[in-house]
């Protein structure tokens, strides 16, 4: 407040990062979007019109959004539950449970996706086990469908829900839950009326991050999903690799970026609040 | 709320209640009866078992042994939400995501009270704590004192027979604390409710309580009126914890206390004090530098001044007697404070001396 000089120096500290972002992110993004308007020369909004009118593009966009919603829902429910179990566990168990979240987090996305593919295929460990104990006659169709995509992406994105939820829980004053009990609330209603509302910013932030990340997923839906699960990213890749149609790819990329930005603005408040409120109490 | 209160204050009884955490005994077998409608303070240093005992009454801890009774009802294994006990926590514990009115309404909602009755009760509770205008504010918009009053309103709105307060004024500054003490006492007089009040502040306990229960190391040291625990402490710990005192070490033999040399003082003692090392204790009022003339009960006591401090209306002196014990006494401030190191002859009132055993375990 009374240190305007050091305040201006703080801005200098983020300059290198801003420079890196400008060169490696903003400039390429600009060129991609520019391509959407200038390839072929004088294209203008033509590429956008093509993208929006293309039934395949609509279908793929729907796939992307539907998958993102399903994954966000599954990850939120499972992640919050896991975070709560961790929060209530003994100290030693807590460390173990958090490690279980972080270790896969540090493993390559590609490796984890292939691991799921191996587990889920007809000769995979799940179908083999179920078959050998006589529960099923024919292998269950576990791979190349929405189930596999949801399962794989949920597992991969879970840490993004678990960590903010857990951090929100550790900031809740447990005497509030005790107060609710002393005032006549059963454990269940104390949870739903006091604990859950107080940890909602963490859950919102986690769900939101998951949704944003899920809209950009490419490898997992391609490797685990069926034809009905392919995301827009596949279409963009197609346009570039198969057709050399950089204009259409640019327009599609720009549309996805806008979609994410809109979602970002919608959830901005809950995200920033959960970050900014970390030091505030009651 | 007092006259139409549907629940009447009940006595609380603890029978052989014990709580252990691992090998640590937090509360040794404890027998205690809190009479219906009384104001009882649990007083003791932190870790003395007073809060654990409170939690066993509120239901947040279950005793390892023994029973807790409300009236004739054994509630030892009842969960907190079924005990109908109001609890006020040190950090207020107001729900930050609800308005003040919603906070106060919470226990009524949990009990399925009708909407129109809820609104009336919330209004009455806010009037009770003299904050009728804050209903729509959020807790964080209120001052600490206001938040604590709302917490009290919330704990009383469902007419509990018993109100537990766990260091409720601990987070407030001294002046606010003193005015809140008087307000809580006034509330208790207006309402038909038993209050158990946990504090580590002896002045607070003395000012507010009908009865004080002094806790030390998981045990009850003494139960009595403020006057009794202050004026007639039964142990050295109670004497030390309840305020400044001046003491002399000595030996009790056959009902007579003899001070250690070089102090020449003999006192008759109660039958309760056994033979062995003991201390004679005086509170500030029974130590003076200038005894009233012609009163034979004052005995001279040579001391050395260790430190002195001016405290407005009185002078605080830390004195050491020849046999080694030190004590703090307050005296009238109408004479200049003696410098440290000076010899000072004080007089102690034989009639108001309290002799307690000072054997092993008696030291605070």
Closest CB to B110: pick one of A175, A183, A282: A183
Sort out which chain A residues have CB atoms less than 8 A from B58's CB and list them: 182
- pLDDT value for B363: 42
The Cβ-side half-sphere exposure at B42, using a 13 Å CA radius, reads 32
Closest CB to B111: pick one of A184, A187, A194: A184
- Flag whether pLDDT at B305 surpasses 60: yes
pLDDT-based confidence at residue B338 (cuts at 50, 70, 90): confident
Cα dihedral A222, A228, A230, A234 sign: positive
Asked if residue B41 is part of any domain, the answer here is yes
- For A202-220, the DSSP string reads HHHHHHHHHHHHHHT--HH
In angstroms, the CA B286 to CA A233 distance is 90
- Flag whether pLDDT at A267 surpasses 80: no
- pLDDT value for B240: 87
Do residues B14 and B76 make contact, with C-beta atoms less than 8 angstroms apart? no
Are residues B249 and B223 both part of a single domain? no
B140 vs A: CB within 8 A: yes
Other C-beta atoms lying within 10 Å of the C-beta of residue B278? 27
Distance from CA of B20 to the nearest CA of A (A): 18
**Domain C-terminal end among B228, B256, B289:** B228
- pLDDT value for A94: 95
Are residues B200 and B276 both part of a single domain? no
Are residues B85 and B180 both part of a single domain? yes
The distance of Cα B178 from the centroid of its chain, to the nearest Å, equals: 14
- pLDDT value for A6: 55
Q: What is the assigned CATH class of domain A55-277?
A: mainly alpha
Query: Which among B63, B359, B89, B362 has a CA at the least distance from the CA of B217?
Result: B362
Residue in the block written with tokens 């998981």:
B218
Asked if residue B236 is part of any domain, the answer here is no
Percent of chain A with pLDDT over 70: 93
Are residues B169 and B266 both part of a single domain? no
Asked if residue B75 is part of any domain, the answer here is yes
A184/B107 Cβ within 8 A: yes
A176/B139 Cβ within 8 A: no
B86 vs A: CB within 8 A: yes
- pLDDT value for A151: 95
Sort out which chain B residues have CB atoms less than 8 A from A174's CB and list them: none
> What digits encode the pLDDT tens for the residues B217-271?
999 999 999 999 998 888 889 988 988 888 888 888 888 888 887 777 888 887 6
Sort out which chain B residues have CB atoms less than 8 A from A180's CB and list them: 95, 106
Range of the domain at B170: 12-228
| Average confidence (pLDDT) over A145-166 | 94
Are residues B198 and B255 both part of a single domain? no
- pLDDT value for A1: 44
B106/A183 Cβ within 8 A: yes
Are residues B314 and B210 both part of a single domain? no
Are residues B224 and B249 both part of a single domain? no
- Closest-approach residue (CA) in chain B for A186: B81
Return the HEC string of B234-292: CCHHHHHHCCCEEEEEEEEECCEEEECCCCCCEEECCCCCCCEEEEEEEEHHHEECCCC
- Flag whether pLDDT at B361 surpasses 50: no
User: No. of H helices and E strands in chain A?
Assistant: 15, 0
Distance from CA of B331 to the nearest CA of A (A): 44
A10: left (phi over 0), alpha (psi -120 to 50) or beta: alpha
A183/B155 Cβ within 8 A: yes
Are residues B25 and B112 both part of a single domain? yes
Cis before B72? omega within 30: no
> What digits encode the pLDDT tens for the residues A23-67?
999 999 899 888 889 988 888 889 999 888 989 888 998 999 999
Sort out which chain A residues have CB atoms less than 8 A from B80's CB and list them: 178, 181-182
Distance from CA of A20 to the nearest CA of B (A): 41
Asked if residue B328 is part of any domain, the answer here is yes
Asked if residue B363 is part of any domain, the answer here is no
Closest CB to A185: pick one of B81, B86, B87: B81
> What digits encode the pLDDT tens for the residues B94-116?
999 999 999 999 999 999 999 99
B80/A181 Cβ within 8 A: yes
Asked if residue B239 is part of any domain, the answer here is no
- Flag whether pLDDT at B1 surpasses 80: no
B158/A173 Cβ within 8 A: no
State the CATH number of the domain containing residue B45.
3.40.50.300
Question: Which position has the higher pLDDT, B4 or B145?
Answer: B145
Sort out which chain A residues have CB atoms less than 8 A from B154's CB and list them: 183
Are residues B181 and B42 both part of a single domain? yes
> What digits encode the pLDDT tens for the residues B66-80?
999 998 899 999 999
Distance from CA of B146 to the nearest CA of A (A): 14
Distance from CA of B106 to the nearest CA of A (A): 7
Q: Picking from A142-146, A179-183, A227-231, B270-274, which range would have the lowest pLDDT averaged per residue?
A: B270-274
- pLDDT value for B331: 81
Distance from CA of B25 to the nearest CA of A (A): 21
Q: What does DSSP say about strands B211-216 and B39-43: parallel, antiparallel, or unpaired?
A: parallel
- Tokens coding B56: 């066993």
- pLDDT value for B359: 67
Asked if residue B161 is part of any domain, the answer here is yes
Sort out which chain A residues have CB atoms less than 8 A from B59's CB and list them: 181-182
Domains in chain B: how many in total? 2
pLDDT-based confidence at residue B309 (cuts at 50, 70, 90): confident
Distance from CA of B92 to the nearest CA of A (A): 9
- Flag whether pLDDT at B140 surpasses 90: yes
Are residues B23 and B149 both part of a single domain? yes
Asked if residue B2 is part of any domain, the answer here is no
């Amino acid at each position: 407040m009374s240190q305007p000089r050091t305040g201006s120096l703080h801005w200098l500290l983020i300059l290198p990062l801003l420079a890196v972002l400008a060169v490696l992110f903003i400039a390429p993004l600009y060129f991609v979007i520019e391509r959407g308007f200038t390839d072929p020369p004088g294209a203008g909004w033509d590429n956008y019109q093509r993208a929006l009118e293309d039934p395949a593009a609509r279908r793929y966009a729907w796939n992307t959004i539907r998958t993102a919603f399903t994954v966000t829902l599954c990850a939120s429910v499972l992640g919050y539950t896991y975070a709560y179990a961790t929060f209530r566990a003994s100290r030693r168990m807590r460390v173990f449970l958090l490690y279980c979240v972080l270790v896969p987090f540090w493993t390559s996305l590609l490796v984890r996706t292939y691991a799921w593919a191996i587990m889920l295929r007809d000769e995979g460990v799940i179908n083999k086990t179920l078959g050998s104990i006589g529960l099923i006659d024919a292998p269950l169709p576990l791979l190349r469908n929405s189930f596999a995509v949801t399962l794989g992406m949920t597992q991969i994105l879970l840490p993004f829900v678990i960590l903010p939820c857990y951090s929100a829980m550790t900031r809740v004053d447990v005497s509030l839950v005790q107060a609710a009990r002393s005032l006549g609330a059963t454990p269940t209603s104390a949870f739903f009326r006091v604990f859950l509302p107080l940890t909602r910013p963490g859950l919102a932030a986690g769900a939101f991050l998951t949704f944003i990340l899920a809209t950009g997923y490419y490898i997992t839906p391609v490797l685990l999903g069926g034809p009905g699960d392919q995301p827009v990213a596949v279409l963009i890749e197609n346009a570039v690799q198969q057709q050399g149609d950089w204009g259409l790819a640019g327009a599609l990329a720009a549309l996805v970026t806008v979609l994410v930005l809109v979602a970002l603005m919608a959830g901005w408040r809950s995200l920033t609040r959960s970050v900014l409120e970390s030091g505030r109490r009651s | 709320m007092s006259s139409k209160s549907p629940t009447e204050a009940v006595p609380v009884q603890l029978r052989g209640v014990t709580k252990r955490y691992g090998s640590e005994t937090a509360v040794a077998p404890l027998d205690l009866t809190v009479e219906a409608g009384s104001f009882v303070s649990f007083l003791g240093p932190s870790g003395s078992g007073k809060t654990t005992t409170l939690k066993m009454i509120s239901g947040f801890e279950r005793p390892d042994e023994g029973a807790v009774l409300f009236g004739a009802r054994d509630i030892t294994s009842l969960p907190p939400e079924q005990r109908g006990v109001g609890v006020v926590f040190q950090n207020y514990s107001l729900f930050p995501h609800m308005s003040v009115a919603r906070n106060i309404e919470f226990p009524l909602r949990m009990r399925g009270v009708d909407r129109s009755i809820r609104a009336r009760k919330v209004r009455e509770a806010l009037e009770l704590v003299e904050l009728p205008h804050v209903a729509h504010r959020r807790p964080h918009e209120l001052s600490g004192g206001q938040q604590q009053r709302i917490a009290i309103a919330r704990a009383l709105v469902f007419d509990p027979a018993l109100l537990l307060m766990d260091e409720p004024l601990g987070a407030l500054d001294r002046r606010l604390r003193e005015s809140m003490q008087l307000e809580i006492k006034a509330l208790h007089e207006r309402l038909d409710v038993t209050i158990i009040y946990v504090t580590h502040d002896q002045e607070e306990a003395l000012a507010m309580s009908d009865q004080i229960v002094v806790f030390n190391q998981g045990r009850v040291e003494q139960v009595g009126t403020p006057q009794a625990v202050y004026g007639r402490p039964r142990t050295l710990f109670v004497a030390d914890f309840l305020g400044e005192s001046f003491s002399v070490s000595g030996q009790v033999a056959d009902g007579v206390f003899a001070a250690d040399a070089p102090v020449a003082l003999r006192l008759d003692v109660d039958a309760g004090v056994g033979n062995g090392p003991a201390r004679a204790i005086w509170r500030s009022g029974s130590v003076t530098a200038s005894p009233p003339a012609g009163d034979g009960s004052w005995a001279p006591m040579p001391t050395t001044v260790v430190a002195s401090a001016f405290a407005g209306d009185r002078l605080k002196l830390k004195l050491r007697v020849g046999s080694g014990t030190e004590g703090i006494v307050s005296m009238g401030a109408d004479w200049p404070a003696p410098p440290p190191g000076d010899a000072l002859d004080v007089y102690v009132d034989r009639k108001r001396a309290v002799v307690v055993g000072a054997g092993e375990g008696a030291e605070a």
